[in-house]
Structure 1
Amino acid sequence: MNDLRRTRTLLALLVAAAIAACSGGAGEGDAPPGPPPLEDAAMGGPFELTSETGETVRDTDFAGQYRLIYFGYTFCPDVCPVDMQKLGQAMRALEERDADLAARVQPIFISVDPGRDTPEVLTEFTDSFHPRLLGLTGSPEVLADMVQRYGSYAEIPEGQNAEGYLVNHSNNVIMYGPEGEPLVNLDMSASPEDVAAEIDRWAS
């Protein structure tokens, strides 16, 4: 019950942060936007997952980099492909806007469906959207713990046909800082250029 309450609280915080980022962020050339919306959120933490190439990947591997973390699955019929297409476009816009900053931003797609999302499937999926989009996954137990700690939600229904089940999940792209600190829930309803500007805004 405490876990469920904590998850709901984090999701509510993410919604509030998204609203704040949309309404109160600074534009290009404006004064600094102030503290990031998720500055005090109890989110994130260490992890150990498997990459799309089969290698072990830890949170410490991204030290010094901004991380854009999304939980989803490749068999998602609509939401995940749309979000990853937008994220890929935003990364290209950021590369044009500030190539040095873009090189320090790592987009990460974490599959919560390890039964179907093999390394080969993950590679094909991520390569479709941006060459630097990294696919990760892990055991169901590890993923369940990480999803909760990172303020997201995912649930694979039991007893479903292995070929056709759907996964209920949140679709937040959360930006974390160089030390793994949560910064902002990116507004993925905005244009790719505006998403790139938002990344630039919160990168110190």
Structure 2
Amino acid sequence: MVFVGWWRVDGPGTPQPTGQRPLPLSAMDFRLTDHEGREVGPETLIGSPAMVFFGFTYCPDVCPTTLADISGWLQAMGEDDGELNVIFITVDPERDTVEAMAEYVGFFHPAIRGWTGPEEQIARAAEGFRATFEQVTTEGGDYTVNHTASVFLFDATGRFVSTVDYHEPRETAVPKIRRAME
């Protein structure tokens, strides 16, 4: 099962990345809704360092694993975790309503915010972050979503700093997050 998850997210079955660095948050333009029903956009993230991950609530392995990893990183940071905007943006707005996002992020660290919205706005957000996603039909007529599995890190001014890769160990992830907070 792990192999299948790798294949769909990071392996040969995933869409190819654009090969470009994410735009600064100040250059992005999209409108979404957070899991509490508030309108949000890239400007919401400027003023504090940000950690952003794209995924979806029906994801069988990569998304819950990454959100659990993020929760662990935040716990390892102690008091400093309150300085971060930690955002989980859905790539499956058809199923990930505001209510679904609220329930899902409730299983993880309380700093994690869920964002959803119209598909065209999610596509605009993904384009700015240089993330990819693609809906893929599965056996039985259901679907899954292939997507970028990295966590994007931005400093308080909205400048892209680094990424944390899927399954990156805490020993390298937390220093990267702290660097974004400097």
**TM-score category of the 2 structures, normalised to the smaller one:** 0.7 to 0.9
SS in 1 for 2:53: strand
- Of 8, 12, 33, the match for 2:18: 8
5+ long unaligned stretches in structure 2: 1-14
Aligned partners of 2:155, 2:100: CA distance in 1, in Å? 28
Please say which of residues 114-123 and 45-54 is displaced more in the overlay.
45-54
Matched, 1:134 2:113: yes
What residue identity is the alignment partner of 1:139? P
Kindly report which structure 2 residues correspond to 1:65-104, keeping only aligned pairs within 5 A, or say none.
Answer: 65-95=48-78, 99=79, 101-104=80-83
The alignment's C-alpha RMSD in Å is 2.4
Partner of 2:154: 176
Cα distance in 2, alignment partners of residues 129 and 186 from structure 1? 18
* CA distance in structure 2 between the partners assigned to 1:198 and 1:188 by the alignment: 14
Distance in 1 between residues matched to 2:135 and 2:104, nearest whole Å? 20
Q: Which amino acid in structure 1 is aligned with residue 178 of structure 2? A: D
Which residue among 95, 113, 119 is the counterpart of 2:92?
Answer: 113
* Higher mean displacement: 78-87 or 120-129: 120-129
* 2:34 equivalent in structure 1: 51
Q: 1:47 aligns to what SS in structure 2? A: coil
How far the C-alpha of 1:110 sits from its partner, in A, is: 0.2
Structure 2 distance, partners of 1:184, 1:127, is 26
- 1:29 corresponds to which residue? none
Percent of paired sites with the same residue? 28
User: What does residue 123 of structure 1 align with?
Assistant: 102
The Cα shift of 1:43 comes to 5.2
The structure with the largest alpha-carbon Rg is 1
| Distance change >3 Å, CA 168–CA 188, structure 1 → 2 | closer
Q: Whole-Å Cα distance in 1 between the matches of residues 118 and 159 of structure 2?
A: 24
CA separation of 1:187/1:194 partners in 2, compared to 1, >3 Å: closer, same or farther? same
